[in-house]
Amino acid sequence: MNRIEILPNLWISTTASANNKDMNILTNISILINAEKELDFIYKQIYSNYDIIKINKYLIKITGYIHNQLKNNKAILIFCNNFKKTILIIYAYLIKYGKILKDNAINIINSKYYDSENLYNTQNLLNELFDNNIL
């Protein structure tokens, strides 16, 4: 699976696919977001308060950036090694700017991409973020 269009002009992919320049041209990608690099500290067993604050700040910043770029008709590709981190960003974006409930965001992602292990890990992190009133 190379890449998946979640919303018009909003794509997710693996790192290997993100480096495919021909595919980027074909899908009009003008912005690449490396979630692997930006969120290298997530999916640990235990999160400190500092980790939660860091995730919160990053998600606020990146979802705002994505929203502004999509409003300007820029095509964005968010990528990481195995979709876990890209899915977290997409969930946060859908909840914040789509103004939808967490369960509906999960259903939207499931309709486009389904990997039970990745979704389970992401849902656990989402629940922790919701429990701490971050999303």
Which pLDDT belongs to residue 38? 76
CATH fourth-level superfamily of 3-131: Protein tyrosine phosphatase superfamily (3.90.190.10)
Strands 10-14 and 75-80: parallel
**Secondary structure of 17-73 in HEC code, one letter for each residue:** HHCCHHHHHHCCEEEEEEHHHHCCCCCCCCCCHHHHHHHHHHHHHHHHHHHHHHHCC
Prediction pTM value: 0.82
What is the pLDDT at residue 43? Answer: 63
SS3 80: strand
Q: What is the reported pLDDT for 124?
A: 65
Alpha-carbon distance of 52 to 44, in angstroms, equals 12
Token pair 């309709």: residue: 111
- Write the burial class of residue 49 (CB in 10 Å: 0-12 exposed, 13-18 middle, 19+ buried): exposed
Residue 121 is predicted with a pLDDT of 60
Largest CA distance in the chain: 42
**What is the C-alpha to C-alpha distance for residues 57 and 53, in angstroms, rounded to an integer?**
6
Each residue's pLDDT expressed in tens, for the chain with a length of 135 residues: 578 899 999 999 988 889 889 988 989 999 999 998 877 766 666 667 787 788 888 999 999 999 999 999 999 999 988 777 888 899 889 989 988 887 788 778 777 775 655 555 666 666 666 666 655
